[in-house]
A and B are shown apart, each in its own frame.
Chain A
Amino acid sequence: MWLPIQINEQSAEPLYFQIEVQLRALIVSGQLSEGTLLPSIRELAQMLKCSVITVRRVYQDLESEGLLRTRQGTGTYVARVEQREMDRHRLEAVIEAIEGAVAAGKLVQCSKEELADLFREALDKHYGV
């Protein structure tokens, strides 16, 4: 199974963290539904060109958050996610993305006002004025 996870090698964010954020988003957004069998650790590592140590860490973290469960011998599945959990996680991913956008703006020395304008423009573009 292919997962839409993108890795940014230039980022200072550790690899496991990048993968964790995206996999969590896929689960809480419902793109991966309850009971979906995820790739084996070695398979996902191969897909993302990272080590099994990183993938194991991601699976373990998400399992302890209750988003995944592992059945001995059969593999790792998407667990049942409560609606309340989903709402909380849902925003987490969005906040993360906005923070990323602000960081990108700061890198090219945007002022606060400039960024606010850009954000408003993007809102208008997608939601209508």
Chain B
Amino acid sequence: MASLTTTATVIEPEISRDDHGTAPPIRDGGDYGRPGLPDYGTRLRRARLGLLVALIPVMMLFVSFTSAYVVRQGLPSLDPRTNNLIRDWIPVALPRLLLLNTFVLLVSSVSMELARRQIRARAMMETNSTGTDVSIRDPIRTPWLAMTFVLGLAFLFGQWTAWKQLAANGFYVSTTPSSSFVYLLTGAHAAHLLGGVVALLIASIAALLHRSLKTRSIVVDVTAWYWHFMALLWIYIFGLMKFVS
């Protein structure tokens, strides 16, 4: 082999087979190659770590909104008629419906957790059973996943209705800074929750496409943690709008 260097001896690098010891059990770069996926535990750990990292920018987004909220609240505004500084922060009367929405979201978080445990138990059962018996089906299995999906949509519909009620009371996006923030915070939260609903849809489609139970279980697991985060985030936002105004 033509070499531009003067190296005389090349020591063979030590390379281990991937099924050896504790080396990372990876055979494939994930490039369309289904058969070479790493094992279930590795994939689950990696997906959870990825989610944890992904939640940080979501958190930063809302931290940033919060700081803007606090700063804007303390600012006086110049009244052009009197040339005086006035406070233009008019607290928004939050629709009572939001309490119901909060309840719906919390219930959905519980059903999401039950769905996560259900599919995880099934995935574990598949792992423990010897090979081909994939079709272990519990005849009275409760459709927790579908319930979560419906509850998620119900929450989003409830938020939509709450916006309608706000508008009916005369609070539009630009009416007062506090109403701007109410729409901003609830809107940004709803957009993120919609992402969770889409992930649930993907998990369901994966079932229809006969993807392996393990793959679906990973999708559901990660979505569940995301969903719980969304519930916590909602409680934080709700508290911010309710008490810091």
Partners in one complex: no
Residue ranges of B at the interface with A (Cβ–Cβ < 8 Å)? none
Instruction: Enumerate chain A interface residues (CB-CB to B < 8 A).
Output: none
